[in-house]
Amino acid sequence: MKKCVTLLVLLATTLTIAAPLDGILERYQRSYFEGRRFIIDLNSGSTVRYEQVIKEKNDKLVTVISPERVVWLRFQEKYYIQKNSELLELTFPIYDLEDYLVDVLKRENYQLLAQKRDGSEDVYVLKSGVQVFTIWIGEDGFIDKIVRELPPGYRTALIYEYHEIKGLGETVRRYWLQHPVVGRITSNLSPVLRKIPKYFAWSNLRFFETKGGNIPIIYGITNEGYKVTIIDLDGLNDSVVTQILQRFSEKEFSFYVKKNQDGSKFLFVGDTSSEYLVKLATVIFEESGEGG
């Protein structure tokens, strides 16, 4: 009987703690709001971006005000980036810090570490894999601030300067209609980029300068905490590949080349075992239907 009572108490406590996070997710998913926010690298203390955001349920329009103007939007489950007065459809998603948090909450893939009251805000600390999120919720029930920490101590913050709750609106739809879609941005890395939110806690797409041009490279930290770099080898000669590999020569890294049926080749480099890289490459491309 005593064990039964203890179990019921623990269950009730778990449900009480989980309920606020369920409410946060539900409110965010159905919300319509407009606001401005800062994205800050807490390690350096520098502002990475200053953005204007319009969110209407699952549609989102983001205008990067600084350091340089960039506009991207998510409309009807598709992603676009603006070029002049026109839009280009992307074959891969764009995720901001809110999207990463929402994905964790939707998959219920987290452990709630702490919950407290800080002035007029409720603060929650949760852990998902190697990620630790701290979330500040205002009196209106919406997210005011998110801080995410990744190993080894990499911390970023999303802080709303203000947000205004809106009624029903079609601002994102009107923007999409007013800016014609004139093309698509495709990349051999698209299958990888589509799987980033599922297998990586953090990622960054950069370009490596070589004598033959700029090579797109994905740098990331997996959900298990490993640093993994993915490089499209299509069209690269041996000397360029050697240049790239020299960047990893100072530390011990494992390497794996994934060869697909369509002839594409991708180099996976990580501070983990080659067996792990093989497994990661396999699940990324098999789920995308492009493996071999």
Q: Outline which parts of the chain fall under CATH 2.50.20.10.
A: 2-183
The second-level CATH assignment, the architecture, of 2-183 is Clam (2.50)
SS3 160: strand
Residue 38 and residue 47 in contact, taking contact as beta carbons nearer than 8 Å: yes
Question: How many other C-beta atoms are found inside a 10 Å radius of the C-beta of residue 234?
Answer: 14
Return the higher-pLDDT residue of 206 and 135: 135
Summarize pLDDT for 73-104 with one digit per residue, the tens. Answer: 999 999 999 999 999 999 888 889 999 999 99
DSSP state of 86: E
| Percent of the chain scoring above 70 in pLDDT | 87
Q: Letter for the amino acid at 57?
A: K
Residues in the chain: 292
Model pLDDT for residues 99-126, shown as the tens digit of each residue = 999 999 998 889 999 999 988 999 999 9
239 — pLDDT class (breaks 50, 70, 90): confident
Q: Which residue has the tokens 């459809």?
A: 89
Instruction: Yes or no: say if 134 and 147 are a contact pair by the CB < 8 Å rule.
Output: yes
pLDDT digits (tens, 9 = 90+) for 178-215: 999 999 887 778 888 888 888 888 888 777 666 666 67
- Of 111, 98, 118, which Cα lies nearest the Cα of 25? 98
What average pLDDT does range 137-152 have in this prediction? 90
Give the orientation angle of helix 274-287 with respect to helix 190-199, to 10 degrees: 110
Locus of tokens 């919300």? 31
Output the six-digit token pair for 53: 């955001």
Number of H helices, E strands in the chain: 6, 17
